[in-house]
Amino acid sequence: MKFVCPLLLLAALLPPLANADNLARFELTARVDLVLDPLDLLGGGVQPGDTLSAILQYDLDLNAADDDPSPNHSSRSATPPGGNFVRGTNGASRHFDTTNSFLADITNNAPDGDYLSFFLSGDTTPSMTASPLIESVRMDLILHDAQGTALADDLLPAMINLADFQSASIFFSGAGEEIGPPPHFPLFDLIATVTSLTLVTTQNLQGDFNGDGRVDAADYTVWRDGLGAPFSLTDYQEWRDNYGAGAAPAFATAAPEPHAAAVGVVLAAIAVLVRGRPSAAPLHG
């Protein structure tokens, strides 16, 4: 029977990593136009005129699956979002992160034009859902071209030119327990106009083993589980040297040291190999 290295078997069972070549990644800024916060949940930390900054990233492989068979319209989702997200990178965005779900909705040649919309569910840092009132946090990004010429089809585009759209808006809100009689509204609501949208590369982010656009503890887990094949101790040093890259500034943390279990994967594999070999014949004097 042919021996199969357990490390190769483990690598085969791991989920495929996002291909950096297929990731579309953009840095965006937006001008805050309106803040509705009657319960002061934002603590006055966001005001009209503030600049909101964020990163938009999505995997172009999502184009292979369309949740809506209608012509000229597509709906592509990812739950969990993985490498698909809008991630806030400053205080005005409350460091929002797409932790729950990602939905891209594309409409091409509709009577009222083209729409490229992203609907995102997640949380902020510190967590807005720590409030007993808030149950969910959303950030939606909607681009609209009334002339219907911005999009060539209903696929996620590899490039977005902001100048092709007449409007581009961010809607950031928190929802939760219904207070008082209807109608009920979000517990806080922020509206911003996108002022810049710039394509950036993901190919040079060393240590980002899961392809989500940042180097963090999740990449350590991927490295640990793949130690021996396809990763090595050299890859750990690459991850450690770049720990925190691409992440929104929140709480300073040090890169953890490799767990004994990670090194144990290699040792266990060696032990299996040794046990699997036939014993040598005893020597007789």
Which pLDDT score, from 0 to 100, does residue 270 have?
45
* Mean pLDDT over the full length of the chain: 81
Which pLDDT score, from 0 to 100, does residue 225 have?
84
Give how far Cα 207 sits from Cα of 21, 117, 244, 255, Å.
Answer: 16, 30, 10, 12
Q: What is the pTM of this model?
A: 0.71
For the chain, counts of helices (H) and of strands (E): 4, 9
Regions in the chain scoring below 70 on pLDDT: 1-21, 177-184, 202-204, 246-285
Spatial separation of the C-alpha atoms in residues 34 and 171, rounded to whole Å: 10
Spatial separation of the C-alpha atoms in residues 200 and 134, rounded to whole Å: 33
Beta strands in the chain (DSSP E): 23-36, 51-59, 73-78, 85-88, 97-110, 113-123, 134-145, 167-176, 188-200
Spatial separation of the C-alpha atoms in residues 138 and 128, rounded to whole Å: 11
Say if CB 225 and CB 259 are below 8 A apart.
no
Give how far Cα 200 sits from Cα of 19, 21, 26, 27, 213, Å.
Answer: 15, 12, 5, 7, 11
Give the pair of three-digit tokens for residue 246.
């691409």
Which pLDDT score, from 0 to 100, does residue 189 have?
96
Which pLDDT score, from 0 to 100, does residue 275 have?
54
Which pLDDT score, from 0 to 100, does residue 194 have?
98
Which pLDDT score, from 0 to 100, does residue 193 have?
98
CB burial of 190-199 (b: ≥16 within 10 Å; e: otherwise) equals: bbbebeebee
Which pLDDT score, from 0 to 100, does residue 50 have?
98
